[in-house]
Amino acid sequence: MNPYRRSPLIIASTILVFFFLYAPIIVLILFSFNASRISPLFTGIITKFGPYKLVNENVLQSPCGPFHWFCDLTKNTEVLSAARNTLIVAFTATIISTVVGTMAALALQRYNFRLRTFSQISLYIPIVIPEVVMGITILVMFSQLFTYLNTSLHLAGDSQLSLGLWTVILAHISFMIPFVTLVVQARLQGLDKSYEEAAMDLGANEWTTFRRVTFPMILPGVLAGALLAFTLSIDDFVITFFTNGPGSATLPIYVFGLLRRVITPQLNALSTVWILIVLIAVSLTQRFESRQK
Amino acid sequence: MLKRLRENKSAQGTLLIVPTLIFMIGMLIIPLLLTLVVSFGQRSADGGVIYTFSLNNYIRLLGFTTDCPSGVKTCFTSLYMEILWRSLVLGFNTTALDILLAFPLAYFIARARPKWRDTLMFLVLVPMWTNFVIRVYAWMMILRDQGVINSLLGWLAGLIHVPFKPLDMLYTPGAVLVGMVYEFLPFMILPIYTSLEKIDNSLYEAAADLGASPFRTFLRVTLPLSMPGVVAGTILVFVPVMGTFIVSDLLGGSQVILIGNLIENQFLSARDPAFGSAVSLVLMALTIIVTYFYTRKFGFGGEIVA
């Protein structure tokens, strides 16, 4: 019997589900090449290169040819500033949460201390409660804190405390730490303690043991944790939504704001770029993982 | 001092955990407690909070209100109960449909030749990591009045010379259901795939050797062994669906109000953080209760989540 033989029913439903998964993505990409500026119908791609020419809301020719909306995107200062915010938040929050989360994983896996159970439980909370609840509780804390400090310190105008990039970064760090800890802890669990014990027996102190033995062995776990944290940060909508202030919108927040007002092919161009980045990132991660095996 | 630290393992552990505890206490536990305190408070005239101790917000969520027609002191509105119920039903429907769609796909990938598995998983991961908001936008393009489906139908109707009136699809409960099912499908595929992939081929061979039909093999071997994946997937889908508000905002318009929208509105437009806090805590309690009883009945798919 061929173990790879499957019933036609399974094959047919697999194809249907893949179609369901990819139809929206294909639509997004297709419309980023649409010639029409406003039409929800696909009116054909822009074929001619040349100075920008618009007839009946149809782009006839553009210096970028079919990539007109992509060029247009790079001139949109709001998008650029949102992209910059997204990267600032992601890099800062990833570095801090990776360091803090790795320390926590080491503590929980290698040491015994009084607050151990409490720490482990508190790390599970952000994973099990709905994201919207976490966003709301952080918003409630910041707004109550700001109201209190602004009135008691008589702050006014620009010196008033308010939501901004720094509140987004703090919130991101807090929801990313548990994920980093979880990934690094899993790696530490699979690690034979005898290497560390041998290093100690041979006279290495704790720091040297960590630097020369433990850290190189958990490095793949730390990198995987950092990658997960970075992805979660770039992708996050809900927590950023409740913690961002004027001028600190990230890309998902910007897109959401736009969707409530107006829809342009620029948005499709942005989506296409995003999908392309995901495509590259996922294939790199997969290659990295299969090398680890 | 440094020497004492070097010898004291417990102090080292504490030192390593302190930064995490600062974040967890400062950004998680204190906010949760503060939200609890605020939920007992009242809305102030400028949209702030007056600290009192009353259960008014919770009573209001149950449907009892003092804002009644003249002559009556308290009356009942089913508005909030309907929102809670609608969210629960949507959560169950989304989860059920996702199990139905994810199972054959996960089974197909798990039983594919090893060299194909990575490629097929790649195809699942790409939509999963494409931004949530962007994927909602794709469905707006597909479902709106002059969207992809309506233009295709219009074109078909033109071919056979039938008059065509665009279907109303966007801003309906159906659109919200489709959006939710789409958004969370990968979170059902992954855990089910993980549990199916672990099933040893020899089990299928044994079942076949002992004369079991493919259907019976599925019922007695595949299904029971995939349960941890289904349980983990259910939690990964049900919990976020209950709190999501963008899908209903963008695909449901004002037609479909869920708990997430109710919370969002209290903070952004209605400016009643006290009531919003109460609703958030009720949502948290609901998801924890459902998850707790569900995992107690079916076991926890912990090995899959981690």
Q: Does B135 touch chain A (CB under 8 A)?
A: yes
Q: H helices within chain B, ranges in order?
A: 2-7, 9-24, 30-39, 56-62, 79-110, 114-129, 132-143, 148-159, 173-197, 201-209, 214-217, 223-243, 246-251, 259-268, 273-298, 302-305
Closest alpha carbon to B229 in B188, B199, B184: B188
Beta bridge partners of A53: A61
d(CA B244, CA B210): 48
Q: CA distances (Å), B135 to each of A34, B122, B145, B184, B190, in order?
A: 19, 17, 18, 11, 19
Res A91: pLDDT: 96
Residue in chain B nearest A147 by alpha carbon: B48
Res A160: pLDDT: 81
**What is the average pLDDT across B24-32?**
94
Better pLDDT: A62 or B285: B285
> What crossing angle do the helices spanning B114-129 and B173-197 adopt, rounded to 10°?
150
Q: What is the pLDDT of residues B129-145, one digit of tens each?
A: 999 999 999 999 999 88
Res A265: pLDDT: 86
Res A3: pLDDT: 54
Contact yes or no for B23 and A242 at CB 8 A: no
Residue B122 near residue A278, CB atoms below 8 Å: no
User: Distance (Å) from the C-alpha of residue A192 to the closest C-alpha of chain B?
Assistant: 19
Cβ contacts of A110 on chain B, cutoff 8 Å: 13
Residue in chain A nearest B291 by alpha carbon: A128
Q: Which residues of chain A have pLDDT under 50?
A: 1
Contact yes or no for B129 and A281 at CB 8 A: yes
Amino acid letter, B209: D
Q: What is the pLDDT of residues A239-258, one digit of tens each?
A: 999 999 888 999 999 999 88
Res A90: pLDDT: 95
Q: Does B179 touch chain A (CB under 8 A)?
A: no
Of A18, A136, A144, the CB nearest to B280: A136
Write down the mean pLDDT value for chain B. 87
3-class secondary structure, B200? coil
Res B33: pLDDT: 95
Residues 6+ apart with CB under 8 A from A177: A97, A100, A101, A104, A123, B20, B23, B24
**Which residue, chain included where needed, has tokens 């419309």?**
A31
Residue A130 near residue B284, CB atoms below 8 Å: yes
Let me know the angle formed at the C-alpha of B186 by B172 and B229, rounded to the nearest 5 degrees: 120
Res A274: pLDDT: 92
Which CATH superfamily is B80-305 part of? MetI-like (1.10.3720.10)
Amino acid letter, B75: C
Taking 60 as the threshold, does the pLDDT of residue B306 lie above it? no
In chain B, % of residues over pLDDT 90: 42
Residues 6+ apart with CB under 8 A from B24: A119, A122, A123, A125, A174, A177
Res A88: pLDDT: 96
Q: What is the pLDDT of residues A135-168, one digit of tens each?
A: 999 999 999 899 888 888 887 777 788 888 999 9
Taking 60 as the threshold, does the pLDDT of residue B303 lie above it? no
d(CA B32, CA B281): 9
Domain map (residue ranges) of chain B: 80-305
Res A69: pLDDT: 86
Structure tokens at A196: 């560390």
CATH of A77-262, one of 1.10.3720.10, 1.10.260.40, 3.10.20.30, 3.40.50.1260: 1.10.3720.10
Q: What is the pLDDT of residues B153-176, one digit of tens each?
A: 888 888 888 888 888 888 899 999
Contact yes or no for A235 and B134 at CB 8 A: no
Residues 93-132, chain A: which have Cβ within 8 Å of B? Answer: 99-101, 103-104, 106-108, 110-116, 119, 122-123, 125-126, 128-132
Cβ contacts of A134 on chain B, cutoff 8 Å: 28
**What is the average pLDDT across B216-223?**
83
Closest alpha carbon to B122 in A274, A31, A24, A21: A21
Taking 50 as the threshold, does the pLDDT of residue B147 lie above it? yes
Residues 237-276, chain A: which have Cβ within 8 Å of B? Answer: 237-238, 242, 251-252, 255-256, 259-260, 263, 267, 270-271, 274-275
Q: Which of B4-8, B73-77, B177-181 has the lowest mean pLDDT?
A: B4-8
Q: Does B247 touch chain A (CB under 8 A)?
A: no
Taking 50 as the threshold, does the pLDDT of residue B305 lie above it? no
Domain map (residue ranges) of chain A: 8-71, 77-262
User: Distance (Å) from the C-alpha of residue B73 to the closest C-alpha of chain A?
Assistant: 32
**Which residue, chain included where needed, has tokens 């109707």?**
B157
Contact yes or no for A131 and B240 at CB 8 A: yes
User: Distance (Å) from the C-alpha of residue A41 to the closest C-alpha of chain B?
Assistant: 7
- What are the φ and ψ backbone dihedral angles of A196, each rounded to 5 degrees? -65, -40
Res A184: pLDDT: 92
- What are the φ and ψ backbone dihedral angles of A61, each rounded to 5 degrees? -145, 155
Res A2: pLDDT: 54
Amino acid letter, A200: M
Structure tokens at A88: 């600032």
